[in-house]
Amino acid sequence: MNLKEIDLEYVLHSYNRNYVNFKNGKNATLFSEDGKEYIDFTSGIGVVSVGHANERLANAICESAKSIIHISNLYLIEPQALLAKKLIERSGYDMRCFFANSGAEANEGAIKIARKYGEVEGEVKRYKIITLKHSFHGRTITALKATGQEKMHNYFGPFPDGFVYAENIEEIPSLCDEKTIAVMIELIQGEGGVEPQDKEKVQNLSKFLKERDILLIVDEVQTGIFRTGELLASNLYEIEPDIITLAKGLGGGVPIGAIMTKLKDIFKPGDHGSTFGGNFLVTKAANEVLDILKEEKESGKLDERFIYFETKTKELAKEFDKIVLKEVGIGFMRGLRIKDLETLNKIVNTSFEKGLLVLKAGRNTLRFLPPLTITKKEMDRGFEILREVLKEVAN
Ligand SMILES: *Cc1c(COP(=O)(O)O)cnc(C)c1O
């Protein structure tokens, strides 16, 4: 059997997988087994924030692997404590952290925090959580139910009760009642189609919720860790959520999720936990990722890259306005709305054939999540390919 046959035989078919065999990477470039070069505008769906084979990240991971990888949360974990301090201080929020292993798991923890708060605060038990219809919050049963896309709720019921879906931010207040404990949103919807929320509307919502002691949970699994230019998109929107969840870009590729919350004493020992969460290896890696990206931000390089990428995307949107409806996004969470799904699929497939990795998202969006360290040369090459692709597909 060749590798593809082995994969098809032994791995569950839950992905529409592309059978390219990548052997090596360097920053935003990947090399396949047959020697072909690919420009990576996906960073493994927003994960490889500091690029492939980042020297500093590799050294941090090796150091941990050669001393301690894991000891469990029953003992002090030095890099975990330091990572929590770094995240809190650099975010500017008065919070504490809990570490999980993925975005879905971080969201599960956030929901548990909200539910516990709704149980111990006030006269009536409050448990309802409002989310948005085009949202995406993960694949565990509860995170899936929190995800407002009805098409994802086939097969897996019965689901936990208490989730209510709003069409948009403006509709949320009218759905709040005496049982509502939290609202969970993405500031820029990712899977839902790279859809940034309006800043003023979000600030008004935040104020409305504060007045009613309803918690605001911001799912920053995709928007966090400089993806939108600031450490957190909440910083960009100038709001102070009660709970923030993180994952994707935080570890630069190692699996880590985090919850940050103002409710510093909500959990007592035994209320929540994780065997792997925040172990030596992943928190050592995340510390290094945060330091690398802080330098990229402070040197002005990150913003320079954003501007260059945005200019290039806008140029293409203008040139190919017959198939591109509009350009969307912030920072390195960008996209092009394509006129129909068939054209979008053609673009993604042709890009791959020509050596460019791009993503699809809801609302017929061609989505770009490049590594935050992508070079000008890599961007130039990527856009050169994309231009050829759009030309071909437009004809
Ligand atoms: C990817 C994503 C998740 C799920 O993260 P996993 O690590 O796959 O569990 C949750 N919320 C948002 C906004 C995401 O983009």
Which pLDDT score, from 0 to 100, does residue 199 have?
Answer: 98
335: nearest Cα among 359, 306, 302: 359
Which pLDDT score, from 0 to 100, does residue 375 have?
Answer: 98
Which pLDDT score, from 0 to 100, does residue 244 have?
Answer: 98
Helix or strand holding residue 188 (H, E): strand 188-189
Which pLDDT score, from 0 to 100, does residue 329 have?
Answer: 96
Regarding the beta carbon of 251 and ligand 1, being less than 6 Å apart is answered no
Residue environment code for 211-241, b if the CB has 16+ CB neighbours within 10 A, otherwise e? eeebbbbbbbbbbbbbbbbbbbbbbbbebbb
Residue written as token pair 């956030």: 110
| Ligand 1 centroid distance, CA of 245 (Å) | 10
| Ligand 1 centroid distance, CA of 322 (Å) | 32
18: nearest Cα among 252, 253, 359, 341: 359
Which pLDDT score, from 0 to 100, does residue 123 have?
Answer: 87
Q: Give residue 6's identity as a one-letter amino acid code.
A: I
Cα 171 from Cα 164, distance rounded (Å): 11
Reading the chain (395 residues) residue by residue, the pLDDT tens digits are 999 999 999 999 999 999 999 999 999 999 999 999 999 999 999 999 999 999 999 999 999 999 999 999 999 999 999 999 999 999 999 999 999 999 999 999 999 999 999 999 988 999 999 999 999 999 999 999 999 999 999 999 999 999 999 999 999 999 999 999 999 999 999 999 999 999 999 999 999 999 999 999 999 999 999 999 999 999 999 999 999 999 999 999 999 999 999 999 999 999 999 999 999 999 999 999 999 999 999 999 999 999 999 999 999 999 999 999 999 999 999 999 999 999 999 999 999 999 999 999 999 999 999 999 999 999 999 999 999 999 999 98
Which pLDDT score, from 0 to 100, does residue 357 have?
Answer: 98
Let me know: does 303 contact 229? Beta carbons within 8 Å.
yes
The pTM of the full predicted model, rounded to 2 decimals, is 0.97
Cα 127 from Cα 278, distance rounded (Å): 28
Which pLDDT score, from 0 to 100, does residue 46 have?
Answer: 98
Domains defined for the chain, CATH in brackets: 3-54+299-394 (3.90.1150.10), 58-298 (3.40.640.10)
Burial class of residue 35, CB neighbours in 10 A (0-12, 13-18, 19+)? exposed
Regarding the beta carbon of 186 and ligand 1, being less than 6 Å apart is answered yes
Let me know: does 252 contact 57? Beta carbons within 8 Å.
yes
Regarding the beta carbon of 137 and ligand 1, being less than 6 Å apart is answered yes
Look at strands 215-219 and 243-246 and give their pairing. Answer: parallel
Let me know: does 261 contact 99? Beta carbons within 8 Å.
no
Atom of ligand 1 nearest to the CA of 190: 15
Let me know: does 38 contact 241? Beta carbons within 8 Å.
no
Main-chain phi, psi angles of 51, to 5 degrees: 90, 170
Cα 103 from Cα 18, distance rounded (Å): 24
Helix (H, G, I), strand (E, B) or coil at 334: strand
Enter the DSSP assignment of 365: E
| Ligand 1 centroid distance, CA of 357 (Å) | 20
Enter the DSSP assignment of 15: S
DSSP track, 135-163: ----SSHHHHHHS--GGGGSSS-SPPS-E
Gap between the terminal Cα atoms of the chain: 40
Regarding the beta carbon of 382 and ligand 1, being less than 6 Å apart is answered no
> Residue 311 is encoded by which pair of tokens?
């200019």
> 379: Cβ–Cβ under 8 A, 6 or more apart, which residues?
305, 308, 309, 312, 370
Regarding the beta carbon of 219 and ligand 1, being less than 6 Å apart is answered yes
Residue environment code for 112-128, b if the CB has 16+ CB neighbours within 10 A, otherwise e? bbbbbbbeeeeeeebbb
Tell me the H-state helices in 184-279: 199-211, 233-237
Regarding the beta carbon of 191 and ligand 1, being less than 6 Å apart is answered yes
Enter the DSSP assignment of 207: H
